[in-house]
Amino acid sequence: MQNIIIAGFGGQGVLSLGQFIAYSAMYEGKNVTWLPSYGPEMRGGTANCSVVVSDEPVASPIIAFPDTLIAMNKPSLDKFVDKVKPGGLIIVNSSIIKDKVKRTDVKVCYINANELSLQAGNTKTANIVVLGAFMKQTGLFAKEDVIKSIEKIFAKKPKVIPMNIKAFEIGYEA
Amino acid sequence: MSEKVLMKGNEAIAEAAVRGGCRFFAGYPITPQNEVPEYLSKRLPEVGGTFIQAESEVSAINMIYGAASVGARALTSSSSPGISLKQEGISYIAGAELPCVIINMVRSGPGLGGIQPAQGDYFQAVKGGGHGDYKLIVLAPSTVQEAVDMVYGSFDLSEKYRVPVLILGDGMIGQIMEAVSLPEMRDVSKIKKPDWALDGKGSGSNRKIINSLYIEPDVLEKMNIKLAGIYRQIEENEVKVEEYLTDDATVVITAYGTVGRIAKSAVNILRSKGIKAGLIRPVTLFPFPYFAYEKAASSNNVKKFVTVELSMGQMIEDVKLGVNGKKPVEFFGRSGGNVMSAEDIVDFIISKEV
Amino acid sequence: MAKVFQKSSFLTDAVLHYCPGCGHGIVHRLVAEALDDIKAQGHVIGIAPVGCAVFAYNYFNCDMIEAAHGRAPSVATAVKRVNPDNIVFAYQGDGDLASIGLCETVHAAARGENVTIVFINNAIYGMTGGQMAPTTLIGQKTTTSPLGRNPAVNGNPIRICELLSTLDGPSYIERVAVYDTPHILSAKKAIRKAFENQVNKKGFSLIEVLCNCPTNWGMTPQQSMDYIKNDMTKIFPLGVFKEV
């Protein structure tokens, strides 16, 4: 089982990053829940979502202590950093967050998502860059399978598929 | 069953309603259920159905009354303050013996309250809500798949008894995304319109009248006795409950809806810590599965019950009726839109054990 | 023997419960005869209000729905949308339509729902015993304005036809009265036209009928008819307010 909290500003693709993980999980035959924060909190403020991936049917979709935190901005890191399970993973968008994580009992991955997304051709793909880093760090699903998922998710918008796959690969290799 | 699709609860419910034969929706925007009308505003016209954004919840529920009167499978959806506004109409629908399906994606109250998940509308849902001696069939889904299956079958259920069905969800189940198998599309041309439904053909002795006015006390009493008889039948036939690891349980946690699944995780954690916990999750809130509590309360293993709700304590009253004083019943609740985690439930139970 | 007159096929044989001299009976007959005129037999659904006409479902010989107070336009909306081939009408009083149900009235009109609404304005709450209505005239005494309606305390009467005629949705809005034979005949013409409009899919029609309430006005039937003619029409002028 993998419990993931993804948090950041509204507009950073936080909710869709969670959905990418959820879609990948479903395509891989796993059970998954994706639970977003909702309401006025999202508009210009912070947004977060909780994703639970499991071999068994998911009971609670509420995550008290995540295995992985993906923090896209500073307030999100501050809010959730102490909740991450010892031995867990924190992915930090270091394009925006300049601080270092002080905890020593977790694995931390810093990724310049915004700068790297430019290499893919669009800053909108920063969340896909982070998806790449997440899959590399956790090994939750194989690289090729996630790429297949990206193709399925964007099946109705085929033009954007190459850019997103590129962003994913950049994040995966970073 | 089709291939699984990842859908938000609200959208999956809306699609399930259409597949179950729903061809009429009227509602008014309110968070956190807006994806239901948004989805249906596009979907219903595709299948020859009617979508109306009404001017108020009051108007919307009366549109449901009208549509049901002429035999349409009619759905409305709202959240707590909006459901309060609908209560007058719901009472009329119950009094006129019209079938329909009502969704309440409960948010926190009272008053304007908040928009986050809550279960503070339990009393309103199962003990009346509107005026007069009536009941609704109240279903509480804990997963999106369960919600889909419930909504799909709810029109048949409602028409069977001519009693409205209320789906009591909360903001969580409306907003969560899960993989679901959608049931197949019902062929509405093969769903027989009820013979009491108005078609405008009535004249003289074959006139059809939809009405809840019975000015003579004896006539109205007869009607109320008839309704009570239908509610007894529903109690006999339609109770649904999920029991999880209750056989050897010493602590029985009980919760409904999304809290039921959080409690299930709590049971697993407690078991891993050596505490024999179990879960009773009512799937139908009316009819309420009192027998499950009677049975558990009579077991020598069971030392106590813990009711967990997103309220200050409402379902606990029915739990206590079932337990009937045989074992203690404790309460753990969060309110205001706060949602407990499985670990919170575990901490509560362990703190009481010491 | 040649039959020279018969009761409308759209009226049942039930005995009306209305007070002696009340205009509801007249308007029931006008509605029924208008439905005969358009040969609507076999596809009419009527909506009864809450108020004196609450038992209208006993009198109109067609399928009927009894609506909650003020909600008939919403019920009619849904019925017509589901069964567009039915002739759908709502029969409502002033408390029902212009007070508690004003929101439903305005929005059904604004949506241009293809239904016909017959609005009985007798400036009083009859069923509940003579309380002030949204259409009660200034100075008119009711059980809740015992000194006469005072605008400073009780507000002013609402003119429904004028109000609705500002909307784009309605196709036909007319105010008529039933205080003498010529006006009764004009009222019938207006109601028939409202039904014809529905048949021709022209959209929302509302006919306001100035009506009497001798019991709660404390008048003889003749005095009450004179009151419509001399007092009500000053505040509620007759005429066509909108026709598309």
Q: What is the mean pLDDT of residues A99-121?
A: 96
- How high is the pLDDT of residue A40? 64
Q: What is the mean pLDDT of residues A95-110?
A: 97
Q: Which residues of B lie inside 8 Å of A (Cβ-Cβ)? A: 4, 6, 31-32, 115-116, 143, 171-172, 175-179, 258, 261-262, 264-266, 268, 339-344
Q: What is the mean pLDDT of residues A68-75?
A: 97
Percent above pLDDT 90 for chain B: 98
Residue A12: name the closest of A88, A139, A97 by CA.
Answer: A97
- CB distance C79–B69 less than 8 Å? yes
- How high is the pLDDT of residue B50? 98
| CB-CB neighbors (< 8 A) of B71 in chain C | 82
Q: Tell whether A20 is within 8 A of chain B (Cβ).
A: no
- How high is the pLDDT of residue A173? 95
Contact A171, A113 (CB under 8 A): yes
Residue C151, preceding peptide bond in cis (omega within 30° of 0) = no
Percent above pLDDT 70 for chain C: 100
Overall domain count for chain A: 1
B3 pLDDT more than 90: no
C-alpha distances (whole Å) from C76 to each of B105, B116, C42, C46, C92 are 28, 35, 17, 8, 12
pLDDT tens, position by position, C31-75? 999 999 999 999 999 999 999 999 999 999 999 999 999 999 999
Give the three-state DSSP class for C180: coil
- How high is the pLDDT of residue A98? 96
Local confidence band at B353 (pLDDT 50, 70, 90 cut-offs) = confident
Residue A1: name the closest of A87, A67, A85, A88 by CA.
Answer: A67
Tell me the CATH number at A144: 3.40.920.10
pLDDT tens, position by position, C175-231? 999 999 999 999 999 999 999 999 999 999 999 999 999 999 999 999 999 999 999
| CB-CB neighbors (< 8 A) of C57 in chain B | 209, 211
How would you class B93 by CB atoms within 10 Å of its CB: exposed for 0-12, middle for 13-18, buried for 19 or more?
Answer: buried
C-alpha distances (whole Å) from B166 to each of B55, B105, B128, B160, C232 are 22, 10, 12, 15, 47
- How high is the pLDDT of residue B181? 97
Residue C47: name the closest of C14, C78, C5 by CA.
Answer: C78
Q: Tell whether C223 is within 8 A of chain B (Cβ).
A: no
Q: Which of C41, C54, C81 sits opposite B50 (nearest CB)?
A: C81
The DSSP code sequence of C16-31 is: P-SPTT-THHHHHHHH
Supply B310's token pair.
């997103």
Domain B5-193+212-237, classified CATH 1.10.3720.10, yes or no: no
Q: What is the mean pLDDT of residues A107-131?
A: 96
- How high is the pLDDT of residue A46? 81
Local confidence band at A43 (pLDDT 50, 70, 90 cut-offs) = low
Enter the pTM of the model: 0.95
Residue B279: name the closest of B352, B347, B349, B176 by CA.
Answer: B349
- CB distance B200–C45 less than 8 Å? yes
B1 pLDDT more than 60: no
- CB distance A60–B261 less than 8 Å? yes
A44 pLDDT more than 80: no
What does DSSP assign to residue B121? T
Q: Which of C41, C63, C74 sits opposite B62 (nearest CB)?
A: C74
Domain that holds residue A138: 2-173
- How high is the pLDDT of residue A42? 52
Rounded to the nearest angstrom, the minimum Cα separation between B115 and chain A is 7
Q: Tell whether A35 is within 8 A of chain B (Cβ).
A: yes
Q: How far apart are CA C199 and CA C125, in angstroms?
A: 32
Local confidence band at C240 (pLDDT 50, 70, 90 cut-offs) = very high
Q: Which of C63, C71, C107 sits opposite B200 (nearest CB)?
A: C63
Q: What is the mean pLDDT of residues A59-82?
A: 97
Give the contacts of A59 (CB within 8 A, at least 6 positions apart).
B261, B262, B264, B265, B268, B342
Using left for φ > 0, alpha for ψ between -120 and 50, and beta otherwise, residue C27 falls in alpha
Q: What is the mean pLDDT of residues A34-52?
A: 82
Q: Higher confidence at residue B2 or residue B25? A: B25
C1 pLDDT more than 90: no
Kindly indicate whether the ipTM for this predicted assembly is greater than 0.90, answering yes or no: yes
pLDDT tens, position by position, C93-132? 999 999 999 999 999 999 999 999 999 999 999 999 999 9
Say which range, A10-19, B8-17, B90-99, B256-265, has the weakest mean pLDDT. Answer: A10-19
Q: How far apart are CA A36 and CA C21, in angstroms?
A: 65
Domain layout of chain B by residue ranges: 5-193+212-237, 241-353
Q: How far apart are CA B298 and CA C111, in angstroms?
A: 60
Residue C169: name the closest of C205, C118, C197 by CA.
Answer: C205
Domains and CATH numbers, chain C: 24-243 (3.40.50.970)
pLDDT tens, position by position, C11-32? 999 999 999 999 999 999 999 9
Local confidence band at C3 (pLDDT 50, 70, 90 cut-offs) = confident
pLDDT tens, position by position, B245-275? 999 999 999 999 999 999 999 999 999 999 9
Helix axes C72-82, B57-69, angle to 10 degrees: 50
Residue C91: name the closest of C113, C124, C111, C64 by CA.
Answer: C64
Local confidence band at B354 (pLDDT 50, 70, 90 cut-offs) = low
Q: What is the mean pLDDT of residues A38-56?
A: 82
A11 pLDDT more than 90: no
CATH architecture for the domain at B241-353: 3-Layer(aba) Sandwich (3.40)
Q: How far apart are CA C114 and CA C93, in angstroms?
A: 20
Across all residues in chain B, what is the average pLDDT?
97
| CB-CB neighbors (< 8 A) of A20 in chain B | none
Rounded to the nearest angstrom, the minimum Cα separation between B176 and chain A is 4
Residue C212: name the closest of C141, C91, C149, C124 by CA.
Answer: C124
Q: Which of A19, A57, A62 sits opposite B177 (nearest CB)?
A: A19
- For residues B189, B194, B199, B203, the Cα torsion angle rounded to the nearest 10 degrees is 150
pLDDT tens, position by position, C136-167? 999 999 999 999 999 999 999 999 999 999 99
Residues forming a β-bridge with A46: A9
Residues forming a β-bridge with C60: C11
Chains A and C lie in contact, requiring 3 or more CB pairs less than 8 Å apart: no
| CB-CB neighbors (< 8 A) of C106 in chain B | 55
Across all residues in chain C, what is the average pLDDT?
97
